[in-house]
Amino acid sequence: MKDMHIIDLVDSKKHTRLSDSERSTISSHIERCVDCRKAYEAANIAAALLEEHASRIVEPSPFFQTRVLSGLREQQSVNSWGFGRLWRAAGPLASSMVATVIALVVLTFAVPDNPTVDSYSLSAYSAEEVILDQDAAMDFPASDGQVLTTLYDDELETTR
Amino acid sequence: MSDLELVRLAREGDESAFAEIMRRYSPRVFRFAGRYFRQRSQIEDAAQEVFLKAFTQLSSFKGSGSLEGWLTRITANTCLNLLRSSKRRLELTAADLNQEDSEWIADKVANVSNERHKAREQSLIAADLAGRVLETLSPDDQLVLTLIDGDEASVREVAEITGWSESKVKVQAFRARRRMRQAIEKLLGSKKEGQLALEGAVKR
């Protein structure tokens, strides 16, 4: 019968870190359980492979530093070249935008303001004046005859 | 000159200071990257990327931890990203093994004395085979297994390097160990099947 606890124990830690009691539990179990024996064998191989893998030493090549430093210079030159290219491409647009902003600033602050309400008040009638004028007009009301003469003077002339 | 002083000079654009940092820590970066890539060119590419990143991120190194730890974190992230972007081998079968691999496994299964495995050639065979088995696992599994079961790093150290919680490291290690064990079991199973088929063909 497959005892899942043994497999869990096998997978729980590296086999070299198993305690003596854990080892004896595993040993006695794998004698009668084929599945667990296979699992334990595979776990042993995995541990041995990882140990060998960890002992592998890869030294940097003698040219590694030179390679990285030239990579750094290349990266820096690409960055600066990239900015230059961007400026060349977008330069005219950026310049025209700056010129527009300057023109707007000049127009806003340097050119005299548009006539204000006060200046209008110098040339236009105030509400009060209009009312007074109306009163003045009412002092000398035109008769119906004067109005008709003014409007239809020409017609009256021809009928005569 | 201290690491902090070198970092300060390198930040100001002193190339020789950065070269000194590389001289001090490139063996460590190579050893780390060597766990994840089998080909030397891949290891060199990864190490180069690590140092290029380190140079551009020097301003983020505040000196609260060690420069070695900071570089190790960059190396771990770089290797993980490179592994994630590379194509993963689906599984390793007996057909992928050469005669030397098969012999190494057979000796290991038969519990042949370790003396034989001490031989340099045997170690290289095992290391290469380990690399191929690891390639069938996910990048996270590879990272945690090589650090904990390979380099004997503690759970806490792995958590610091990866930025994972300690409980995540423990769970990841358990699952990774299980997946590696299952990959080898499968490999052994397919090897036995192959042998049986070969013996059957010979008998006929």
* B66 CA: distance to closest CA in chain A (Å): 22
Question: How many angstroms separate the CA atoms of B194 and B202, rounded?
Answer: 12
Q: Are A55 and B123 in contact (CB under 8 A)?
A: yes
Top pLDDT among A90 and B54 is at B54
Q: Is the pLDDT of residue A39 over 70?
A: yes
B52, B105, B127 ranked by CB distance to A53: nearest? B127
Contact A65 B23 (CB under 8 A): yes
Mean pLDDT across B179-189: 88
Question: How many angstroms separate the CA atoms of B76 and A118, rounded?
Answer: 74
Mean pLDDT across B138-146: 91
Most A CBs within 10 Å, among B12, B184, B187, B190, to test the A interface: B184
Mean pLDDT comparison of A14-28, A83-97, B166-180, highest-scoring range: B166-180
SS3 B39: coil
Contact A11 B178 (CB under 8 A): yes
**Residues A58, A59, A64, CA angle at the centre, nearest 5°?**
125
Q: Is A49 on the interface with B (CB under 8 A)?
A: yes
The per-residue pLDDT for B177 is 93
% of chain B beyond a pLDDT of 90: 30
Catalogue the E-assigned strands of A41-104: none
Contact A52 B55 (CB under 8 A): no
Q: Is the pLDDT of residue B176 over 80?
A: yes
Question: How many angstroms separate the CA atoms of B37 and B40, rounded?
Answer: 8
Range of weakest confidence among A57-66, B28-37, B67-76, B110-119 = B110-119
Q: Is the pLDDT of residue B114 over 60?
A: no
Surface-to-core class of residue B51, CB atoms within 10 Å of its CB (0-12 exposed, 13-18 middle, 19+ buried): buried
The per-residue pLDDT for A1 is 44
Question: How many angstroms separate the CA atoms of B155 and B139, rounded?
Answer: 17
Q: Are A36 and A11 in contact (CB under 8 A)?
A: no
pLDDT tens-digit map of A53-105: 888 788 888 888 888 888 888 877 776 655 566 666 677 788 888 889 998 88
Contact A43 B52 (CB under 8 A): no
pLDDT tens-digit map of A100-150: 999 888 888 876 665 555 555 555 556 666 666 665 555 556 677 776 777
The per-residue pLDDT for B113 is 54
* A3 CA: distance to closest CA in chain B (Å): 15
* B201 CA: distance to closest CA in chain A (Å): 26
Tokens of B9: 């000079």
Q: Is A21 on the interface with B (CB under 8 A)?
A: no
Q: Is the pLDDT of residue B45 over 80?
A: yes
The per-residue pLDDT for B46 is 92
Contact A41 B188 (CB under 8 A): yes
Cβ pairs bridging A and B (under 8 Å):
120
Mean pLDDT of chain B: 83
Q: What is the pTM of this model?
A: 0.64
% of chain B beyond a pLDDT of 70: 85
The per-residue pLDDT for A91 is 74
Top pLDDT among B190 and B174 is at B174
DSSP single-letter state for residue B57? T
Q: What are phi and psi of B135, to 5 degrees?
A: -60, -20
Q: Is the pLDDT of residue B146 over 80?
A: yes
